[in-house]
A and B are shown apart, each in its own frame.
Chain A
Amino acid sequence: MEKILSVKKVEKYYGSKSSLTKAINDISFEVEKGEFVAIMGASGSGKTTLLNMISTIDKVTSGHIFVDGDDITKLKGNKLNKFRRNKLGFIFQDFNLLDTLTGYENISLALSIQGISYKEQNKRISDIAEKLGIKAILNKYPYQMSGGEKQRIASARAIITNPSLILADEPTGALDSKSSRQLLNSFEYLNKELNSTILMVTHDAFTASYASRVIFIKDGKIFNEIHKGAESRKDFFDNIIEVVTLLGGDLNDAL
């Protein structure tokens, strides 16, 4: 299998010498093409820091991160932007849609930045809109949409450029349970049908149960890792809950 992402001995320290905080303490893992990986951990476990470093928003203290074989910890300036533009798609908890643009324009902007022609943009957007069921809201502005609709537009924006890796940071965090389920179904569709590789950070076991593999992080280290394999989602969910219980108190609160 082709490796999309490999994280090698990454460390991230905050603070000065006298009061050093190890947000990430020697983490290594790999994600293969077509995988749907969830990273779980309590608040402060370092999962968002890890995601930020993979998405090049934050810099590693030591170690390397390879995406499609390129060491992204060495990238700088416009090469970074180019990397994000061509290789990554982002989905955030608070959607991060541009509120002056319509749904359509939010999606097309990602393509415009890549210099893709209007015709091609139009074709791709109507294609993805069909698949994600967002045709009816394309001409609405974010303030006219529900949370679930916004997040599906954000997903469409993330996937439209055919990125190597989609990064999702608590994508269901601001959604009610029905919208969450709809969104996760969309993720499943992207993963299974379009063969997208997704790396998702969450503290919600139900959300994580949609993934094919879950990596647990505690205090900046990998604590455990479980695969879904041939299990049903219900069984996988139970497995996740088991690990969460093992992990200790904090995460239980989040359930």
Chain B
Amino acid sequence: MLCKLSISNIKKSFKDYAIYFITLILGVCIFYIFNSMDSQTAMLTVTSRQNEMIELMIQLLSYVSVFVSLILGFLIIYASRFLIKKRNKEFGIYMTLGMSKRKISFVLLIETFIIGLISLVVGLLLGIILSQITSIFIANMFEADMTKFTFNFSKAATIKTIIYFGIIYFIVMIFNTIIVSKNKLINLLQASKKQEKIKLKNTIICVILFIISVLMLGTAYYLVTEKINELLKYEVSILLVPISLGVLGTAIFFYSVAGMILKILSKCHNLYSKNLNTFVFKQISSKINTMVISISIICIMLFITLCLLSSAFTIKNFFNESINKYAPVDFELIGYYSDETKSININEFIEDDNIIKNNTKDITIVTDYYDKNLNYGSSLGEYENEVRDRYPNVRYDSPVYIIGVSDYNKLAKIYNCDTIKLENDEYAIVSNYETDIYKEVINRDSIINIFGNRLKPYKKIIDGFILIGVNPTNLGFFVVNDNIIENDNKHSQILVGNYSTNDEKVIEDIENKIENYKPIFTITKDTKLEIKEASVGLSAIVTFIGLYLGIIFLISSSAILALKELSDCLDDKNKYRVLRQIGADEKDINKSLFKQTFIFFMLPLSLAIIHTIFGLKFCTFILSSLGVNSILDGSAITFAFLIAIYGIYFVITYMCSRNIIKERN
């Protein structure tokens, strides 16, 4: 009997449940997709290095899943509270008919169970279908070949999803029972008649608080952008200052913004008293005032999403582009001189093996040197003391290396960089790291001492590098004329070259030989393929975690806004009836509803976007150590994502609420 009641309840209110259902299904679906990576990647032909990366990614995603399930748990509890509130009268009627609270809880329990079951099944099915498509995407990310398309299904992920969501639904059931048992019959029956108390706020206090919030946010923005260098002198925990300023500022902003703007608008008499505008503004302000905390959380979640996704996409794009630029040769071997090994012939690696010898070209060998009196500090010349004051945490005693100009030009040719010519009393700095320090050194024409020669700087910094890598992190190599160099101070011998074959088997063979080459001297080895695989793997991990969290945050924020808007709409049905009675046109009523929904969705997003503008500056600063200059590429894709998910929720919400307020004769 009670089961029948539950089922008919669900059928009846299916429309009202739509947003709730969609959110649950999406939650389950995404949870499954990101937890079934193991089966999605199983069919990829990958190297062992890529495999390690994939395993790392799967592990990280499973940690993130715990966090995600927490967020989804809160969201679902929040959503079910809305739905219960809506049904107060129904429960009241059950109680007057003599149904005990325990039985009502039981009805709810069954409903939660059925909804949970349906959403779980549909979500899983959708997840399994979509994971077939995402696996193609993953193969693309790892630049791996998908040899054959096979249907993938992850039993482990399915079980995990069921367990996690089972727990969430179980907690929701407990919450529902508590809510029902705490309700009084009179409140239940009169819930719909209860008049809304408008939270009146003192306008002057609102204005003051608004100014304070703007100041707080401004300070936080200023700290993470203009003052970032000074800020990072201290411990990382100093970042808590701008973060807490930002969070608090956001909350105070939403606490005061409605009162503040309403005050201003009510002075613009013509706008305020035009058509239904009075109604629209008042509705929104009361809506915002009743959910300051939620709307602040939504704003911050949107902000995190935007920054996270932008950074993730930027990193991905950046790696793809920069590898070709900063690793222009296929392999690089560096042998280091030491007290034991005074002589190195790294060329023997090529010469001693016919396969290697016949399948490589452009072999270039250069040597770099050190001067024990020259370190990063002293290389700055007279500028050193100033820099030391500004950046006390840099290691100024780390050595800098010196290369002869003829050797440099040999490398420059193969790297497709410009060759240089130096005067006898000149030195040049080769660097591609984004910093103005060496620029300033050159501006000051500061004389430094290399191998006992007083040298003045070449007219500009040479944008280039000696060692291949994934990003421009060459702080500075010093180039001097060959005759200055003291041969006793050899640091290392560097060999670079390219493959002359396209045969993948041969290349793989040589790669293995490079990997296993163990001469008597210390050696480091890099190949373009290896760099590529590592960085592709890294960018894939960052992108997936960014996507996972980003989508969950987006869904949560949109769902909360949508549910609030819909439940308000149900409460406000009578208001729209009144509007019709005093003669408002249907078109104007819909317009007012659209404006309300739009502003309600846009407000947290707007502040989040402003946060993001400054947040991204901070992200760019952090990412600049990788060599990323612009985060704009990533932002474009992110906004596309945002508009898709947020937009869908917005449209559904508007459609549903229009349906709710429609009068049926």
Contacts and interface: CB of A to CB of B under 8 A. Distances in A.
**Chains A and B belong together in one complex:** yes
Contacts of A88: 583
B270 interface: yes
Nearest to A87: B583
A164 interface: no
Nearest to B196: A99
A90 B582 contact: yes
Given A99-B195, A118-B269, A113 B575 contact: no
A105 B582 contact: no
Interface stretch (A53-61, A127-135, A184-192): A53-61
Given A84-B582, A142-B195, A113 B275 contact: yes
Contacts of B197: 143
Interface in B575-617: 575, 577-588
Nearest to B285: A100
Nearest to B578: A96
Given A55-B581, A88-B583, A113-B584, A98 B276 contact: no
A112 B276 contact: yes
B574 interface: yes
A142 B196 CA distance: 9
Contact of A143 (B196, B277, B283, B665): B196
B440 to A, nearest CB: 61
Contacts of B278: 101, 105, 108-109, 112
Contacts of A157: 582
Interface stretch (A1-9, A36-44, A75-83): A75-83
Given A84-B580, A90-B582, A96 B574 contact: yes
A51 B321 CA distance: 74
Nearest to B284: A100
A164 to B, nearest CB: 13
B273 A121 contact: yes
A229 interface: no
Interface string A99-123: 1110001001111111101100100
B273 A108 contact: yes
B200 interface: yes
A141 interface: yes
Interface string A61-91: 0000000000000000110011111101010
Contact of B583 (A77, A86, A117): A86
A113 B282 CA distance: 16
A218 B277 CA distance: 44
- Of B195, B273, B274, B282, the most chain A CB neighbours within 10 A belong to B273
Nearest to B268: A118
B286 interface: yes
Nearest to A85: B583
Nearest to A111: B273
Given A121-B273, A141-B198, A143-B196, A100 B283 contact: yes
A147 to B, nearest CB: 11
B172 to A, nearest CB: 31
B521 interface: no
A170 to B, nearest CB: 15
Contacts of B580: 81, 84
B274 A112 contact: yes
A105 B583 contact: no
A109 B279 contact: yes
A109 B583 contact: no
B590 to A, nearest CB: 12
B585 A81 contact: yes
A86 B582 CA distance: 9
Interface string B278-301: 110011011000000000000000
Given A96-B574, A115-B275, A143-B196, A110 B283 contact: no
A94 B278 CA distance: 22
A98 B279 CA distance: 8
Contacts of A121: 273
Given A109-B276, A112-B277, A99 B198 contact: yes
A95 to B, nearest CB: 9
Nearest to A94: B193
B665 A82 contact: no
Interface string B539-574: 000000000000000000000000000000000001
- Of B270, B582, B585, the most chain A CB neighbours within 10 A belong to B582
A111 B275 CA distance: 8
B198 A113 contact: no
A88 B581 CA distance: 9
Given A109-B276, A141-B198, A98 B578 contact: yes
A110 B582 CA distance: 6
A88 B580 CA distance: 11
Interface string A136-153: 000001110000000000
Contacts of A110: 582-583
Contacts of B584: 81, 85, 113
A100 B273 contact: no
A210 B285 CA distance: 41
A114 B583 contact: yes
B286 A100 contact: yes
Nearest to A104: B278
A154 to B, nearest CB: 10
A142 B274 CA distance: 22
A45 to B, nearest CB: 22
Contacts of A109: 276, 278-279, 579, 582
A109 B275 CA distance: 7
A101 B588 contact: no
A82 B585 CA distance: 7
A159 to B, nearest CB: 12
Contacts of A90: 581-582
A113 B279 CA distance: 11
A114 B286 CA distance: 25
A83 B580 CA distance: 11
Given A84-B582, A85-B582, A113 B273 contact: no
A101 B279 contact: yes
B195 A143 contact: yes
B190 to A, nearest CB: 13
Contacts of B665: 58-59
B585 A57 contact: no
Contacts of A114: 583
Contacts of A99: 195-196, 198, 575
Nearest to A116: B273
Contacts of A161: 583
A142 B193 CA distance: 13
- Of B200, B275, B276, B282, the most chain A CB neighbours within 10 A belong to B282
Nearest to A88: B583
Interface in B167-203: 195-198, 200
Interface in B613-665: 665
A112 B270 CA distance: 10
A77 B582 contact: no
B275 A112 contact: yes
A115 B269 CA distance: 13
A100 B200 CA distance: 10
A177 B574 CA distance: 27
A208 B651 CA distance: 50
A225 B282 CA distance: 45
Contacts of A85: 582-584
Given A97-B578, A98-B578, A143-B197, 7 more contacts: A78-B585, A84-B581, A98-B579, A100-B285, A112-B273, A112-B277, A112-B278
27 contacts: A58-B665, A78-B586, A84-B581, A84-B582, A85-B582, A88-B583, A90-B582, A97-B578, A98-B279, A98-B282, A99-B195, A100-B196, A100-B279, A100-B282, A100-B283, A100-B575, A101-B282, A109-B278, A109-B579, A109-B582, A110-B582, A113-B275, A113-B582, A113-B583, A117-B270, A118-B273, A143-B196
List the 10 shortest-distance A-B pairs measured between CB atoms, nearest first: A85-B583, A118-B269, A84-B583, A100-B282, A118-B273, A110-B582, A96-B578, A100-B286, A90-B581, A81-B585
Interface of A: 55, 57-59, 77-78, 81-86, 88, 90, 96-101, 105, 108-115, 117-118, 121, 141-143, 157, 161
